[in-house]
Structure 1
């Protein structure tokens, strides 16, 4: 524990929470900095943070696999019936889940979709229809929020309820995630967002539907992963399928929503998250050791030689793992 504490003392800019656990046992856990700089309210382990993709995309993927298990969807099912404008394009559920669809990332279409403005799902889909595919589905991998936005809509059409209601009933409830919700809701105890110690911009929750709109706590993140490991949410077969490589690129090996790596001679599954307002997050599970590291920050700040502030939580997570396993990482492995 002293080793981890000493490391964090060398990260005075870090604001947020961290935990390292083995199974159900917390090895190290602490909070740093302020959740509200204006009122000088400190972060604590119960503070609620927008989680970005770190939680939102796995939630959507797990919900998709639940519907696959029920026979309401299939992994290689074409999306044509849900989105007729992509008819005969060869795009399937598989491509949406592993970022190989070729559909443009709508969050990058900033001339048409302003981050501080509200949009309906119909408006976002109409914007996407104006753009061609970036590549043939399955040909390449390109990290993409659109795939999970579309999966959220598919979940609604297949289940007959709203995406948010489905997630609450079929994931939050069985996993006992009582402190987790969504950005459009009134949330007490939520951290403010900062970038380099200054207030960050507002980002409309409507632009983060099903791909980045979950808000949660450190404890509930652990409950989610515990539920996955216990096969409460999906079967062991489905969980293993999500953790099996579906695409191998030069730097990225992708499962279904999970990034898959070999670090320190160990298999890991991970996901990072960035909320453009200033939140960065990262969770990594080292499967062979049953170890999980979670890093959540409400101040997007440059660390060390890192110029990409969005990867700050990933850097800290990997450096903590390096201390945990007493092994060094190559520089690029700390970020990718």
Structure 2
């Protein structure tokens, strides 16, 4: 869902000028990659990481840590992970397949398939004839994460996809369709529902029978029950207050087309080879579908030289095909460099992963063996906020105890202007902090329930302890000792 594509993708622009690809790894390169993965698990706290690397005609697999730490199950190339937003490329291929089969056109208005869906802009109804499937495919519909991600309901019933898209009825768009690109994960849920309407199948059945199996992706799943039955599905984790713990995120079955397909690095290696045209034993129709999926939408300004295609972020000459993904307890990154016959897919079972790790591994492939893992922004914020929570809590306790001591030692005294002023100032600060605790998520387009699923708990505790600190200082100020 967290998509963050713009920030990550800039680092891969550097890939364009890389030297001739390496077609076989030396022992030193293999050792360097394994050490980097091991360091990444240790530093990030993420229990397990797996990566598949295509370099020329070679495919290599590396893993570190655990698919399930508590059960002692090691991660390997068969471990299944949630693909997060990397799922969008599969949904993109699915709907483009229907177009190739003549069952729809991406230029069709969405109300041809979902006639009950209506949206607004600045309080006025939007002409639904102007809102096409292409707008959803390229994130130019006006549906964005900032305004609409919290609309995605929790649930696992078969009708959750319909319920998810239903939440968009009469929703307010952030901009008019086609005006600009702004990533919104729920766009692909709309496409998933269109797939159901056109195919007459559930999204999961369609993807399994019409996409995964024909492409030879026998270890890629849309049904979580099937993934669980293999015994290979990784446990997801998240970190708060310096501790990484198993985390079973809420079930967002209605967001599956955008972020909840499951696969392993072995299948993802085949998927990447399909993208590069290496795999030929697939139905002919998919060759056209894959080519179409790499067509970035150039009708809107680029983001750091990248355009959005069908579940892929691509540059103008298609020498970089990339997508990252973040779920509450999984992180993914796929980078494909067709002109170099190189591709990398990183799958991990924690939200703390710095997916720029993939670039460091590419550097190792290019002969730069000395690489180090750097903590992610998510992990850094948790460290800062967790530390702040502890420090501020201690300060709040100290001021409260000092206030009690002052009150005990002080005699009855008249209320001075200085005392009133000081108390009012700190009381006002306390009220402001309490209000901020409630309204902070609104400034970034979320609510607390959504925010606490996707972000560290220390964000909330940091805000609460700040309010407690100002309250304790208020009490301390009120208990001024008489001179």
Equivalent residue number for residue 331 of structure 1: none
Equivalent residue number for residue 31 of structure 2: 2
The alignment status of 1:179 with 2:226, answered yes or no, reads no
Equivalent residue number for residue 304 of structure 1: none
The alignment status of 1:319 with 2:360, answered yes or no, reads yes
Q: Is the 8 A contact 1:183 1:213 kept in 2?
A: no
The alignment status of 1:17 with 2:46, answered yes or no, reads no
Q: Max radius of gyration: which structure?
A: 2
What is the CA deviation profile of residues 35-64 of structure 1, one whole-angstrom value per residue up to 9, with x for unaligned ones? 11222221122111111121x211111111
Gaps of 5+ in 2: 1-29, 119-125, 371-375, 378-483
SS in 1 for 2:104: coil
Give, in whole Å, the separation in 1 of the partners of 2:155 and 2:310.
Answer: 30
> Where do 1:181-196 residues align within 5 Å?
181-186=221-226, 187=228, 188-196=231-239
Q: Is the 8 A contact 1:51 1:212 kept in 2?
A: yes
Equivalent residue number for residue 211 of structure 1: 258
What is the CA deviation profile of residues 164-218 of structure 1, one whole-angstrom value per residue up to 9, with x for unaligned ones? 1111112221222222212542412211011132122422142322111211111
Residues 79-88 or 226-235, more deviating: 226-235
The alignment status of 1:250 with 2:303, answered yes or no, reads yes
Give, in whole Å, the separation in 2 of the partners of 1:159 and 1:67.
Answer: 8
The alignment status of 1:275 with 2:275, answered yes or no, reads no
Equivalent residue number for residue 122 of structure 2: none
Give, in whole Å, the separation in 2 of the partners of 1:323 and 1:261.
Answer: 23
Give, in whole Å, the separation in 1 of the partners of 2:78 and 2:199.
Answer: 32
RMSD (Å), alpha carbons: 2.9
What is the CA deviation profile of residues 278-336 of structure 1, one whole-angstrom value per residue up to 9, with x for unaligned ones? 100111110101111010111222xxxxxxx5xx22x11122123323589xxxxx99x
Q: Is the 8 A contact 1:183 1:205 kept in 2?
A: no
User: Which has more helix, going by share of residues?
Assistant: 2
Equivalent residue number for residue 57 of structure 1: 88
> Where do 1:49-88 residues align within 5 Å?
49-54=81-86, 56-84=87-115, 85-86=117-118, 88=127
**TM-score, reference length from structure 2:** 0.59
Give, in whole Å, the separation in 2 of the partners of 1:191 and 1:211.
Answer: 19
Cα distance, 1:117 vs. partner? Answer: 7.6
For residues 160 and 123 of structure 1, do their structure 2 counterparts lie closer, same or farther at Cα, with a shift above 3 Å needed?
A: closer
For residues 3 and 109 of structure 1, do their structure 2 counterparts lie closer, same or farther at Cα, with a shift above 3 Å needed?
A: closer
**How many matched pairs?**
315
**TM-score, reference length from structure 1:** 0.83
Give, in whole Å, the separation in 2 of the partners of 1:176 and 1:46.
Answer: 15
For residues 123 and 6 of structure 1, do their structure 2 counterparts lie closer, same or farther at Cα, with a shift above 3 Å needed?
A: closer
SS in 2 for 1:128: coil
Give, in whole Å, the separation in 1 of the partners of 2:103 and 2:302.
Answer: 31
> Where do 1:1-336 residues align within 5 Å?
1-11=30-40, 12-13=42-43, 14=46, 15-26=48-59, 28-54=60-86, 56-84=87-115, 85-86=117-118, 88-89=127-128, 90-105=130-145, 108-110=148-150, 113=152, 115=154, 120-186=160-226, 187=228, 188-196=231-239, 197-228=244-275, 229=277, 230=279, 232=282, 234-247=285-298, 248-251=301-304, 252-261=306-315, 267-276=319-328, 278-301=329-352, 312-313=354-355, 315-325=356-366
User: Which has more strand, going by share of residues?
Assistant: 1
SS in 2 for 1:175: coil
Q: Is the 8 A contact 1:52 1:211 kept in 2?
A: yes
Cα distance, 1:101 vs. partner? Answer: 0.7
Give, in whole Å, the separation in 2 of the partners of 1:177 and 1:243.
Answer: 20
